[in-house]
């Protein structure tokens, strides 16, 4: 072989891997398909009787129709879903729902009261995580078949034994567990009496706006429009949620129009997008409460004056004006704004002098040392550092223990923390969901049946718990709101919590793809109004 041919051969071989880079097939996202680039690795199950992750709830709300709804058209108004109308008995214990006529499952079979009965019963009978949403009504494996009954082909009646306000019970019927599952299909795939749970984890038997086509773990979830949906066919024929773990990759996909929405962009990625006319970034109020839990089992924290002082040692405004800008705003209450009964309450500001005086009164003139468990990711790390710094100004030496989020929760549940920095998201659209956790502790023993947040911080409050439960069963709506206002002030002022922020969700989208709002919770994240021009 001559030198020249050898060189030619080598050069030719060197070009091989680059040849494929010539873009041969460039397929843009079709006009009738919307693509989300999102982290969906939290997805565990799509069975509405089991799913309890943010991503799962978001997909389930689009696939399954529920008894009642807060619809995309007006997210604050309770309206019928599968049920056309409903009545509540004067004692507030019996609820009767009339199922809409002519509703059809994706299979083509009619939606009946029997399906609705089966759907509620199987949640309780299977006893998976979200079952607590309706077992609090007084339903159990033993009694649910008597409590929830189809009393006619289009009539569902259920009875509750717990003392709960009707507005609360009706709110629960908009949550994931009130999704109506097609009984025949679920039972056809039953194994070992699981009422179809195993199959429904990755398949659907539903009547919602979209049909589940496929869920490939760590890859994508594909939904297809249900043209016969009761509120009309969705704007998009197909919605694909692609699991893109890296936010920078999400941004590139969005910029290249290979995705219509990027859901997990970080602030430093959002900033440069502001100048791009093809992309819009929108902020929506979300319902997570970011706070610190103070364990009263740790001596200094049991002192009310110390807690009062610590609440004045956080630079709330400084943080939301700088590194949390756009993503958080100050809300010092256990209820997020946007919820029934929530008040905008921000009594605490950074005030080192006042805090020092309070600490001196409490006998901690020189401060004390305290450990704080915090998740080891942004923005937790930045928030905890800011807190460490401002607390230090009054002599409180905070040592931060950064760890996996799940490890923080584990420590918190075992009451092994001194301070735990975490966030809390509501389970359904009613103030009771947060109240029942932040303001519920009438059994401070080591092994209670439930472990609400008040218990985790050893805040033993049998009297306030009673007030909280009274608010939950108050029939008069105006009075109920008033009761929650009082509770919020009391808990913020005296409780073992330093409430800091409520969050915003930032969604970046193609300018031409409109109609999506994430809603204050995953239950309200509707895809059916998405449009592309």
Partner 1 sequence: MSIRSLANRSVSILVSVGLTFLGLTCVTFFIGRVIPIDPVLAIVGDKATAETYARVRAEIGLDLPLPVQYWRYLLKVLHGDFGSSVITSHPVLQDLLQVFPATLELAVPALLIGVLFGIPMGVVAATHRGRWQDQTIRLLSLFGYSMPVFWLGLVGLLLFYAVLGWAGGPGRLDVAYDDIVPQVTGLITVDSLLAGEYEVFWNALSHLLLPASILGYLSLAYIARMTRSFMLSQLRQEYVLATLAKGLSPWRVVWVHALGNVWVQLVTVIALTFGSLLEGAVLTETVFAWPGLGLYVKNSLFNADLNAVLGGTVLVGVVFIGLNMLSDLVYPLVDPRARDQ
Q: Could you list the residues that contact partner 1 (CB under 8 A)?
A: 10, 13-14, 17, 20-30, 33, 35, 41-45, 52-53, 127-129, 131-132, 135, 198, 201-202, 213-214, 216-220, 222, 240, 242-246, 248-249, 252-253, 255-256, 258, 403-404, 406-407, 409-411, 413, 427, 447-451
Distance (Å, whole) CA 156 – CA 399: 55
Distance (Å, whole) CA 11 – CA 311: 69
Q: How far is the CB of 223 from partner 1 (least distance, A)?
A: 12
Which of 56, 80 has the CB closer to partner 1? 56
Q: From the CB of residue 158, how many other CB atoms can be counted at a distance below 10 Å?
A: 25
- Judge whether 67 and 172 are in contact, CB under 8 Å: no
CA angle 233, 236, 241 (to 5 degrees): 125
Q: How far is the CB of 387 from partner 1 (least distance, A)?
A: 22
Which of 371, 451 has the CB closer to partner 1? 451
- Cα dist from 374 to 241, 378, 410, 432, 453, whole Å: 30, 10, 12, 26, 16
Q: How far is the CB of 425 from partner 1 (least distance, A)?
A: 10
Q: How far is the CB of 280 from partner 1 (least distance, A)?
A: 19
- Dihedral of alpha carbons 141, 143, 146, 149, sign: negative
Which residue stretches of 64-217 are H helix? Answer: 113-126, 132-135, 144-147, 166-172, 183-188, 197-200
What 3-state class would DSSP assign to 508? strand
Which of 111, 131 has the CB closer to partner 1? 131
Own/partner pairs for 198-203, CB < 8 Å, 24+ apart? 200/45, 200/46, 200/47, 200/48, 200/49, 200/50, 201/45, 201/46, 201/47, 201/50, 202/46, 203/46
**Residue 337 burial by CB count (10 A; 0-12/13-18/19+): exposed, middle or buried?**
middle
Which of 143, 322 has the CB closer to partner 1? 143
Q: How far is the CB of 306 from partner 1 (least distance, A)?
A: 27
Q: How far is the CB of 329 from partner 1 (least distance, A)?
A: 24
Which of 142, 478 has the CB closer to partner 1? 142
Q: How far is the CB of 498 from partner 1 (least distance, A)?
A: 20
Which of 35, 387 has the CB closer to partner 1? 35
Which of 41, 299 has the CB closer to partner 1? 41
- Distance from the first to the final alpha carbon of the chain: 60
**Longest CA span, the chain:** 100
Which of 135, 155 has the CB closer to partner 1? 135
DSSP code, position 195:
T
Q: How far is the CB of 255 from partner 1 (least distance, A)?
A: 6
- Judge whether 458 and 495 are in contact, CB under 8 Å: no
Which two three-digit tokens encode residue 33? Answer: 């398909």
Q: How far is the CB of 222 from partner 1 (least distance, A)?
A: 7
Which of 77, 406 has the CB closer to partner 1? 406
Q: Shortest CA distance to 139 belongs to which of 91, 99, 177?
A: 177
Distance (Å, whole) CA 57 – CA 54: 5
Which of 112, 411 has the CB closer to partner 1? 411
Q: How far is the CB of 454 from partner 1 (least distance, A)?
A: 14
Which of 258, 361 has the CB closer to partner 1? 258
Distance (Å, whole) CA 395 – CA 160: 52
Q: How far is the CB of 258 from partner 1 (least distance, A)?
A: 5
Q: From the CB of residue 346, how many other CB atoms can be counted at a distance below 10 Å?
A: 15
Q: Shortest CA distance to 320 belongs to which of 350, 351, 279?
A: 350
Q: Which residues pair with 109 in a beta bridge?
A: none
Which of 127, 166 has the CB closer to partner 1? 127
- Which residues does 78 contact at the CB level (< 8 Å), separation at least 6? 68, 69, 70, 170, 171, 174
Q: How far is the CB of 308 from partner 1 (least distance, A)?
A: 28
Pairing of strands 68-70, 78-80: antiparallel
Q: Shortest CA distance to 124 belongs to which of 140, 147, 148, 143?
A: 140
Residue with tokens 């030619």: 8
């Amino acid at each position: 072989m001559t030198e020249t041919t050898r060189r030619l051969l080598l050069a030719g071989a060197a070009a091989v891997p680059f040849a494929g880079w010539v873009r041969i097939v460039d397929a843009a996202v079709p006009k009738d398909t919307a693509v989300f680039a999102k982290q969906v690795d939290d997805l565990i199950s799509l069975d509405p009787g089991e799913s309890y992750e943010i991503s799962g709830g978001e997909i389930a709300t689009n696939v399954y129709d529920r008894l009642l709804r807060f619809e995309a058209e007006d997210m604050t108004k309770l309206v019928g879903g599968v049920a056309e109308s409903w009545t509540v008995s004067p004692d507030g214990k019996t609820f009767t729902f009339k199922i809409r006529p002519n509703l059809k499952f994706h299979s083509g079979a009619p939606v009946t009261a029997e399906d609705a009965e089966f759907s509620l019963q199987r949640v309780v009978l299977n006893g998976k995580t979200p079952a607590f949403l309706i077992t609090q009504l007084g339903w159990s494996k033993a009694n649910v078949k008597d409590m929830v009954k189809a009393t006619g082909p289009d009539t569902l009646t259920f009875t509750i034994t717990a003392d709960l306000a009707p507005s609360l019970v009706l709110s629960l019927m908009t949550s994931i567990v009130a999704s109506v599952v097609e009984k025949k299909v679920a039972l056809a795939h039953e194994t070992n009496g699981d009422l179809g749970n195993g199959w429904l984890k990755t398949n659907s038997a539903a009547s919602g706006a979209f049909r589940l086509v496929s869920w490939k773990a760590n890859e994508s979830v594909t939904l297809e429009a249900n043209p016969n949906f009761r509120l009309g066919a969705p704007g998009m024929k197909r919605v694909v949620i692609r699991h893109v773990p890296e936010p920078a990759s999400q941004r590139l996909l969005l910029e290249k129009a290979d995705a219509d929405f990027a859901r997990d962009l970080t602030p430093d990625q959002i900033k440069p997008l502001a100048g791009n006319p093809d992309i819009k970034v929108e902020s929506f109020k979300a319902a997570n409460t970011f706070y610190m839990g103070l364990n009263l089992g740790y001596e200094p924290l049991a002192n009310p004056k110390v807690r009062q002082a610590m609440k004045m040692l956080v630079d709330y405004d400084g943080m939301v004006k700088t590194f949390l800008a756009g993503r958080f705003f100050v809300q010092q209450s256990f209820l997020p704004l946007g919820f029934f009964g929530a008040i905008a309450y921000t009594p605490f500001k950074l005030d080192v002098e006042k805090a020092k005086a309070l600490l001196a009164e409490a006998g901690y003139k020189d401060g004390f040392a305290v450990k704080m468990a915090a998740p080891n990711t942004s923005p937790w790390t930045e928030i905890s550092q800011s807190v460490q710094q401002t607390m230090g100004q009054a002599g409180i030496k905070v040592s931060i223990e950064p760890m996996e989020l799940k490890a923080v929760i584990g420590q918190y549940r075992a009451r092994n923390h001194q301070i735990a920095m975490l966030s809390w998201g509501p389970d359904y659209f009613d103030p009771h969901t947060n109240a029942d956790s932040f303001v519920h502790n009438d059994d401070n023993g080591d092994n209670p049946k439930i472990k609400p947040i008040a218990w985790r911080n050893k805040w033993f409050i049998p009297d306030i718990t009673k007030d909280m439960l009274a608010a939950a069963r108050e029939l008069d709506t105006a009075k109920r709101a008033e009761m929650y206002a009082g509770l919020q002030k009391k808990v913020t002022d005296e409780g073992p919590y330093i409430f800091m922020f409520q969050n915003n969700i930032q969604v970046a989208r193609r300018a031409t793809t409109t109609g999506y709002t994430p809603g204050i919770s995953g239950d309200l994240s509707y895809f059916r109004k998405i449009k592309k021009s």
